[in-house]
Chain A
Amino acid sequence: MNTNTQTHTVKSFGEELDRLSDDVARMGGLVETLVSDCLQAVMRRDGELADSVIERDRQVDQMERDIEKRVIRLFALRQPMATDLRMTIAAYRISHELERVGDLAKNIARRCRVLNESEPHEMTRSVERMGRLVISQMHEVLNAFSAGSLDDAHSAMKTDDEIDEIYNSLFRELLTYMMEDARTISPSTQMLFVAKNLERIGDHNTNIAEMVHYVLTGEDWRRDRSMSDPDRES
């Protein structure tokens, strides 16, 4: 994202900042694909796709390290100020959030392997619905970052409440299944982990949205999420 109307007097500084934000956007794109693919893998019981998600997550880790290096370099050599400072900090933190999302996608892909060993689970559709919402939230938040859109960032934060609600109801439903039929305990637990990972991805997306809010306004977005922690309610 570029929030400045004027270009840098020192062109190479401006180019470094642009490149940093491009890299974060590219990393976001890759992570978004991983989330979408790991969900597909679970839905279609596609073990190969799951393996490919696990493999591509290493690329995400490498990207995070590259961004981190570039951020350190910018601080050491350029001493960014004002919007540039906020953008640099945001790039650092967002890349960390994205790396976590990549790990969660990898976890979901691993669950897929285990799920494929048992009968198809009846709850798959509901988890898919939740997954679609998480993906659209992620799309929104990455768009908020690329386009510098405060509206998209705020909308993504709101979506998180919806995701938490779906997770809570999924949790109760899966418990019911397990109580009714002990043989479903193993796949239901796997499904629960998938849902939990998706819920966590929603939280990371929200953190990214908060960083976008910070870059654009210079103000901290404080949200007391402990009150709506889905695990506490259940």
Chain B
Amino acid sequence: MSTVYHDTKIENAKVELDNVGVTYGSKTAVSGVALRIPDRSVTAFIGPSGCGKSTVLRTINRMNDTIDIARVSGSVKIDGEEINSKSVDPVVLRARVGMVFQKPNPFPKSIYDNVAYGPRIHGLASGKAELDAIVETSLKKAGLWNEVADRLDQPGTSLSGGQQQRLVIARAIAVSPEVILMDEPCSALDPIATAKIEELIDELRENYCIIIVTHSMAQAARVSQMTAFFHLGDLVEYGPTEAIFTNPRDQRTQDYITGRFG
């Protein structure tokens, strides 16, 4: 089915999807997805469970590669470069495209080592002082520095859920990504921790292209500038968040947003 696009000019597209389809074995998860996602802004993917929004998110850093039966077709470009081509190393790609998951997943290491891990394996720091600086900046950007500065040697898992999620975001930021994918980053957090993450997302969008999958429409409305609505493996509607939430064009978007899905 064809997608409804609001006529918004996206001049600084960071991520471009064209005719993207994903199948798991004989089952088609999504098909015909075309999206231009702007840089330095937050784009929300919304839709009911099983609509394919997380699957599409995972095409942007080739996370579907890790699933044997998954087949991705179509084109996914970052800065105009096809990421599915043989010459692209998925490990390098995933440093450019960081990911944050539903449940915080800190490594069983110290807070410091959690953040230092990426820069170390990618050789981004030339010495201890430089690494210290990266860890501090990343934790500051993630809004966690003040809470952990005096206990960097303690295990990351000793932090609260909300702090762990911010630690994981700091870990993603530490390798200087360009795109950050977030798959339901707040669904395991309480409202205060959620508010802190949302505030963080708002700050991070000055420097990154952020794409967030969320089940909370209120959250999508609060944090994003663009919203894409998926349903049964189709991209139904894509446009500015304000327009999607006040005046959706497609009946299915309307029904979902107002809570009328039968």
Contacts and interface: CB of A to CB of B under 8 A. Distances in A.
Interface of A: 4-10, 13, 79-86, 217-219
A81 B247 contact: no
B259 A85 contact: no
In order of increasing CB-CB distance, the 7 nearest A-B pairs are A218-B247, A6-B260, A81-B257, A82-B257, A84-B258, A82-B258, A9-B259
A10 B258 CA distance: 10
A10 B261 CA distance: 10
Contacts of A86: 246-247
For the complex, would chain A's binding face be called helix, strand, loop or mixed by DSSP majority? loop
A8 B246 contact: no
B258 A80 contact: yes
Given A8-B259, A9-B259, A9-B261, A85 B245 contact: yes
B223 to A, nearest CB: 15
For the complex, would chain B's binding face be called helix, strand, loop or mixed by DSSP majority? helix
12 contacts: A4-B254, A5-B251, A6-B260, A8-B259, A10-B259, A13-B259, A82-B253, A82-B258, A83-B258, A84-B258, A85-B246, A217-B247
Interface of B: 217-218, 221, 245-248, 251, 253-255, 257-262
A9 B255 CA distance: 10
Nearest to B255: A6
Contacts of B217: 81
Nearest to B221: A81
B47 to A, nearest CB: 15
Among A80, A82, A86, residue most surrounded by chain B Cβ atoms (within 10 Å): A82
A6 B261 CA distance: 8
A6 B257 CA distance: 12
Nearest to A80: B258
B247 A8 contact: no
Contacts of A80: 258
A5 B252 CA distance: 11
Given A218-B246, A218-B247, A83 B254 contact: yes
A171 to B, nearest CB: 41
A82 B248 contact: yes
Contact of A7 (B245, B253, B260): B260
